[in-house]
Structure 1
């Protein structure tokens, strides 16, 4: 509840002016949101008796942390909260659920090379254990979705992503795979590692201040899309990771933890075209029916540009 000071006529008038409610023009919804945000800041300052020094230290911390703000959204649970709201909205509308959604994160790069049916994601420079992942894209009635696009990206064994890690080749561990006539996809890569937020950065400092860590379990990101179907943003986590159920980004969902089978049988190794044991994951994606053309597409959140 706002304090007497925040509720005072003087401060309420100030909030109206800050939000542009005293002038014509502008978007009414944005005005209302701005008024609420600034009003909450005023209330926090008053309730916790935030000093002028504390305020400016906090503001400068935010300014210094601008390059890491993409990590703040998952780290503060905001991305997970948005998914929770979307799940509840789907349930209220009676939308048939497919594969569970979970967060995108800040490290997607558009424009990855497109392959038909199967692809190799890595450039061979990282000597991690080979991962073969395969499965089928189906609709909620169990029918295969031919021509679906499985857009996949993940980190290397050091927890780094290409583009953001300039030592990696362009689109390393990033591909788009078009499913075959039976809705099947397959790719070869390496088993990725989990990662932590940048050491000494603002995200880590913020989390440590409240007794939290900034680690993510090993995972693989996906966008899955097809005409007439709802765009899916999801990721699978690698079973056995020590942070599997302690993800700083709160993205772990039990339905998205597939079994990892380590293939050591010589016949299986030979059939996969390999010379040593490898890990295998079988995972199917289920896409719901789109209720509108907008539901078929990727969200319009800002992302980096495709690599030229």
Structure 2
């Protein structure tokens, strides 16, 4: 509710001027949204008696924090809230089933090499435990989808992502995998680690101010797409991580925590031509049919640029 001051005729007219509502130019939706945002901020300033010094301190924080907005947004729950709204819209429309969506995060890089059926994601320099993941992409009818693309990316054992970590080779731990005729995909990589927001950075400072941490559990991101099906944005979590149910980005979903099986038997190790124990995850994706062509497409947002190879 707006404060008494903000509800006064003078401030209401002032808000109209700020949002351009006293003129005919501009976009009407943008005007309405801007007016609501400024009005709510004015009300917050008045309700909490925010001083000029506190206001300018907050503005300075935002100026300094700009490079970390991609982390602050999920940390303040915006990414998950957008998913909640889309889930509710699906429910209202009677859309059910399929692999649950969850947040994309800020660390996707387009243009990863495309492989057929099976791929190796890591470049061999990480000494972490080998991870073998496999599964099938299916439609809601249970039938496998040949030619679907599983776009996968994850951190290394230090919790760092290629492109954003210049010490890694281009597209390390990133690949696109086209499913085989039976809808199957498989990849070899290393078991990733979780990560924390940059130490002493803006995100950590903000979270500490409200008594929270900035840790994410180990996870693997996916885009899964195929003609005629809804584009899926999701991720799985690595079971057993200490932050599994305490993700600062609120992205954990019970249906997206597959069993991690550690294979130690010599026969299993030999069958995969490995030299030691490895972890294995089996996980199938289920895509829903697209009602509109736009549903087949990746959501429009600014992302990192493709890497030179």
Name the TM-score class by shorter chain.
over 0.9
Whether the aligned pair in 2 keeps the contact of 1:15 and 1:35 (CA below 8 Å) is yes
Q: Which residue of 2 aligns with 1:71?
A: 71
SS of equivalent to 2:213: coil
Post-superposition offset of 1:10 = 1.0
- Aligned equivalents of 2:95, 2:210: Cα separation in 1: 38
Q: Which residue of 2 aligns with 1:106?
A: 106
Q: So what's the TM-score if we normalise by structure 2? A: 0.99
- Aligned equivalents of 1:286, 1:3: Cα separation in 2: 48
Give 5+ residue unaligned stretches, structure 1. none
- Aligned equivalents of 2:238, 2:74: Cα separation in 1: 19
- Aligned equivalents of 1:35, 1:120: Cα separation in 2: 50
Q: Which residue of 1 aligns with 2:189?
A: 189
- Aligned equivalents of 1:32, 1:5: Cα separation in 2: 20
Give 5+ residue unaligned stretches, structure 2. none
What does residue range 33-52 of structure 1 map to in structure 2 within 5 Å? 33-52=33-52
Post-superposition offset of 1:96 = 2.9
User: Which aligned runs of 4 or more in structure 1 are off by greater than 3 angstroms?
Assistant: none
Q: Which residue of 2 aligns with 1:272?
A: 272
Q: Which residue of 2 aligns with 1:126?
A: 126
Q: Which residue of 1 aligns with 2:31?
A: 31
Q: Which residue of 2 aligns with 1:139?
A: 139
Post-superposition offset of 1:26 = 1.2
SS of equivalent to 1:161: coil
Q: Which residue of 2 aligns with 1:249?
A: 249
- Aligned equivalents of 1:3, 1:31: Cα separation in 2: 21
For residues 97-156 of structure 1, what are the alpha-carbon distances to aligned partners after superposition, in whole Å with 9 as ceiling and x for unaligned? 200000000000000000000000000111000000000000000000100000000000
SS of equivalent to 2:10: helix
- Aligned equivalents of 1:298, 1:32: Cα separation in 2: 28
Number of residue pairs the alignment of both structures matches: 308
Whether the aligned pair in 2 keeps the contact of 1:97 and 1:288 (CA below 8 Å) is yes
What does residue range 155-174 of structure 1 map to in structure 2 within 5 Å? 155-174=155-174
- Aligned equivalents of 2:294, 2:73: Cα separation in 1: 24
Q: Which residue of 1 aligns with 2:231?
A: 231
Q: Which residue of 2 aligns with 1:307?
A: 307
- Aligned equivalents of 1:77, 1:152: Cα separation in 2: 23
Post-superposition offset of 1:86 = 0.3
For residues 185-209 of structure 1, what are the alpha-carbon distances to aligned partners after superposition, in whole Å with 9 as ceiling and x for unaligned? 0000000000000000000000000
Whether the aligned pair in 2 keeps the contact of 1:96 and 1:140 (CA below 8 Å) is no
Structure 2 residue 88 is the aligned partner of structure 1 residue 84 = no
Post-superposition offset of 1:244 = 0.1
Q: Which residue of 2 aligns with 1:62?
A: 62
- Aligned equivalents of 1:92, 1:125: Cα separation in 2: 48
- Aligned equivalents of 1:300, 1:265: Cα separation in 2: 46
SS of equivalent to 1:65: helix
- Aligned equivalents of 1:10, 1:144: Cα separation in 2: 63
Q: Which residue of 1 aligns with 2:212?
A: 212
Post-superposition offset of 1:4 = 1.1
- Aligned equivalents of 2:74, 2:66: Cα separation in 1: 15
Q: Which residue of 2 aligns with 1:200?
A: 200
Q: Which residue of 2 aligns with 1:177?
A: 177
- Aligned equivalents of 1:191, 1:142: Cα separation in 2: 29
- Aligned equivalents of 1:125, 1:108: Cα separation in 2: 21
For residues 41-89 of structure 1, what are the alpha-carbon distances to aligned partners after superposition, in whole Å with 9 as ceiling and x for unaligned? 1000000000000000000000000000000111001100000000000
